[in-house]
Structure 1
């Protein structure tokens, strides 16, 4: 950090605007700010997930690396035109996804969020990641963005789904499967 924050409040946002990292000010409800905030929210959910992991060091390390990526992603949104996320990030996600998915059984049913507290939290992070992707798509319709950022979020949501499946099944646990007859739907 070039400048350390010695005072947390500045009052500059009291008018409903916020400052971007490039010095420009925009409305707090702008799509770019929504993208920054949703990336931060996702990062916070992943932080909560890490705190729920006990003895899952491989997944905790994986998620910590993703937290750093998400912080970089938020930085991309805070500096219009910047590019931090690239093909290497996406390739890493795909390789990691393939590695964790390799031992899982093929899906024959939809999966409901749950199984363990960590798996449920991972599903929550996945849902927020999908929302982040939708926000970034909306932002791309009004402003130029790094397309790799959108691709990253798409792969990350897939990885979070797979990690949730892994967490639900570890230590003798089970995934929660959707059962059509329990939803009141008739064939």
Structure 2
């Protein structure tokens, strides 16, 4: 296990730098910090989604909450992977599991014929917001992978699949909640 923090503030970042997991220091706006920081933001937002799902009156399928919980742990792993150069934690089986869950959730949904807006109930909206944060994380990790050759392609695949998973989860939550999807209407 890592170091225990007895003091939360260290003052080492007061100069605009931060420490990576390998002990090296980089500017706080470094692309690597932006990548794992956005993964952390995504993880936090999935926590908000889970809290909202727990607060709704209609029962949330247990597997959705347990899957989101597992995803939070996987995102923490991904953040650790991005924080420590040349360190790999994301595994192929995590991507395959997302694909299986995607297929399972998608089976019960009607075929998508139109674009849908990121709207609906609060839980649906949170799922869409998490999806868009996930896409941003994916863009940052891609940019980092173009600069450094030590970024595992599985990290990008995981985020790509997760954003699809969150989109389908938003549709699934809408159906479970008895809501309807908000379809995009092209402006005149």
Q: Which of the five TM-score ranges fits, normalised by the shorter chain?
A: over 0.9
2:9 alignment counterpart: 9
Report deviation, 1:170.
1.4
2:53 alignment counterpart: 53
2:183 alignment counterpart: 177
SS at match of 1:112: coil
> Using the alignment, how far apart are the partners of 1:142 and 1:40 within structure 2?
21
Kindly report which structure 2 residues correspond to 1:16-95, keeping only aligned pairs within 5 A, or say none.
16-54=16-54, 55-56=59-60, 57-95=62-100
2:160 alignment counterpart: 154
Report deviation, 1:3.
2.0
Contact 1:41 1:128 in 2 (8 A): yes
SS at match of 2:177: helix
Question: Structure 1 residue aligned with 2:111, among 106, 115, 125?
Answer: 106
Gaps of 5+ in 2: none
> Using the alignment, how far apart are the partners of 2:67 and 2:94 within structure 1?
13
> Using the alignment, how far apart are the partners of 2:184 and 2:174 within structure 1?
14
> Using the alignment, how far apart are the partners of 1:19 and 1:131 within structure 2?
23
> Using the alignment, how far apart are the partners of 2:18 and 2:177 within structure 1?
46
Choose 53-62 or 118-127, whichever is displaced more.
53-62
> Using the alignment, how far apart are the partners of 1:15 and 1:135 within structure 2?
24
> Using the alignment, how far apart are the partners of 1:110 and 1:99 within structure 2?
21
Report deviation, 1:13.
0.6
Task: Say what the alpha-carbon RMSD is for the aligned residues.
Answer: 0.9
Q: TM-score, normalised by structure 2?
A: 0.94
Gaps of 5+ in 1: none
> Using the alignment, how far apart are the partners of 1:177 and 1:2 within structure 2?
47
Report deviation, 1:2.
3.1
> Using the alignment, how far apart are the partners of 1:58 and 1:87 within structure 2?
21
Structure 1 segments (4+ residues) deviating >6 Å: none
